[in-house]
Structure 1
Amino acid sequence: MLYASATPNQKRAALRAGLASGTLQRYPGAFTPLTAPLIEQLGFEGVYISGAVMAAELGMPDIGLTTLSEVAERGRQISRMTELPTLIDADTGFGEAMNVARAVHELEDAGVSGLHLEDQVNPKRCGHLDGKEVVSADVAAQRIAAAVSARRDSDLVIMARTDIRGVHGSSTEGLAAAVDRAKALEAAGADAIFPEAMATLEEFAAIRAAVQVPILANMTEFGKSALFTHQELADVGVNIAIHPVSLLRIAMGAIERELGLLAESGTLDGAVERMQTRARLYELNDYAAYSSFDEGVFNFEVPGGATHA
């Protein structure tokens, strides 16, 4: 009730243990706090918190318009809802070295287990769109070094994302640049590497061979990377796979379809069987625990059975 029983440090240790386990860690993106316990109950290893999703929820494109306060608050809201570790998108760190240090403190206080910082210039662009620019290797390394120096909990995972692969027109040049950048970011102290927009499994394998730290694969729909299976990613040495915007896309697709039905027919009676039931909603938000917490102050009956509306 209210908050997960695991402490932020325990969740951070779990993230590190998962990355070192040799088993692919699967992190679907939670687009609301309520989806975090659902991800947990369905057996995934962790929860991802996407910057693109946060921007979309606010009706904005993913170009660095969200603020540190907005991101930290969303991280807090989602992290409190699950016993699983959470990995959050910290964009470019909301500035340079000093801004990065403050971002690390704020996100630590929000209870996230790890964060990733990217090497794009400001304003940033979605990692799977064209027209991106990246900062120099020195500036990228400074961001990571600042984050590592600023963290107070040594178990907080600092992950470095590089977008340099998509900046080069040639795939050969882009991959070579990504390998070099990954090595530099590892040397700067990154606990893990997020090579964005890898086109093939062979490119992921090249990054795997280049660094000693764990690597991440971004399995976002409509992007530069094919939607490889978890087994395919594990076979080339990927340690963690994220599905950042998938749940938002699924939900928004369903919302648009059913709103169309409502506009056309004037009722949602035909959609009820496709809806989450009231009882299932109450299970996810732990309604019964709140009810029993202090029955002397306020009491209410929670409907039983997930099959009832």
Structure 2
Amino acid sequence: MRRWVRAILLVLEAGRITDEEKNVLNTIRNFLGKDATNNFIVVFSKADPERVMDKQIDWNEIEILRSFITQIGYRWHVSPMRRYYNEDERKANEKRLMEIKECISHIQVLYTTTRFEENQKEKKRLKEEAEKAERRKKEDDENKIREDAIRVYKAEQQAEQDKPLARQEELLTKQEELLTKHEELLAKHQELLEELEYERKRNLYKDSKLLEELEYERKRNLYHTNKDLNSRGFRKLSIEEKAIFGAKAGRALEPDNKVLASITGITGALFGLSKGISDELDDMMVQL
């Protein structure tokens, strides 16, 4: 048998609302479903006589209460006083009571057990879907973790396999660098050899030119020496003087080298001595 109600009165104490009552608002709304929104009426009890008479309740200062009353179409009222002491209070009580009755009578949609059962089924379906989504998310997360672990493992294995190749590439690179440096050193060595060869040839050329100049100077001095030896003045010298003259002339040929100067000096002395003896013999032959 289907049962129904026209109004669902939610009674709250005027002037304050506890955390428990805040939770009740959400619990009732979720338990009965969205359809029950059309049947809720909030009734504030234990209000001061002045509030009952003026219907002044500051419900809009509390966020959750303001949201709830807005959703149910601003259906709220003040409960009558338990006791009244004058005619004005009695009339205010009757007015508040009539307002509640009229609000109930104006509710056209009835809240039935069928709607409640449908709401429970819908809640169950939503709960199952949420649980299914949660399980699917958990499975996806686990699969992702598993895939990440496999990917990391494969990456580590690949890295281990790539180590010898990387080492080999590193060695090849170093070998190429060493070969390049070796070629550079060979090139520099060749340049140095060429420079040394050029310097050797240049010095050899200088030495040959110097020898030519020395030979020319030696011959020139020898020529002048012979000329001096053959001069009339030389012929008048004694044999000893001719030997001394020859020695001085020989040493003059190598003034910068003491050894050579000594040798040429001795040679000159012998030549002068020989020339002196030869001249003496010639003079003797002439006298004969």
Give me the TM-score of the superposition, normalised by structure 1. 0.18
Greater helix proportion: 2
Structure with bigger strand share is 1
- Length-normalised TM-score, structure 2: 0.19
